[in-house]
Structure 1
Amino acid sequence: MFKILARINKLILPSFTKQKLDLAKAKKWQLAIIGYRYYVTSRALD
């Protein structure tokens, strides 16, 4: 389930690393997306 969700996230959600976002200056909604993507990706790798 997490592998499918990770693929959907890759297509839909923005990639902040490509935009060279500084985490210290990130807004709360951007940090929430980063945390969510990290959670789903780490679960998909298990």
Structure 2
Amino acid sequence: MNLQPVDDDPDMHQSIKAAWERKRIQEGDLVPVLAMTDIVGDLRRF
């Protein structure tokens, strides 16, 4: 058997990346928005 890390397999890496992009698009790009609100929330505490 040929066992190798996922990162060493460009095709696998691309498919994971593509799936992640689709997920982000489906969720309306919520991840960066939530990250930004977290940062703003942290700034407001100071």
- Name whichever structure is richer in helix by fraction: 2
Q: TM-score normalised by the shorter chain: which range applies? A: 0.3 to 0.5
Give the TM-score normalised by the residue count of structure 2.
Answer: 0.46
Give the TM-score normalised by the residue count of structure 1.
Answer: 0.46
Larger Rg: 2
Structure possessing the higher relative contact order (Cα contacts under 8 Å, 6 or more residues apart): 1
